[in-house]
Amino acid sequence: MGVIYYNQAAAVLDQARDIPLSNEKEYNAKVAEAKVLFEKALPYFEKVLAIEPNESGAISSLMVIYQQLGKQDKVKEMEEKLK
Is residue 83 over pLDDT 90? no
* Residue 75: predicted pLDDT: 97
Q: Which domain holds residue 47?
A: 2-82
Percent of the chain with pLDDT over 70: 100
Report the CATH number at residue 24.
Answer: 1.25.40
Residue by residue, what is the 3-state secondary structure of the chain? CHHHHHHHHHHHHHHHHCCCCCCHHHHHHHHHHHHHHHHHHHHHHHHHHHHCCCCHHHHHHHHHHHHHCCCHHHHHHHHHHHC
Which pLDDT tens digit goes with each residue over 25-46?
999 999 999 999 999 999 999 9
Tell me how many domains the chain contains.
Answer: 1
Whole-structure pTM value:
0.92
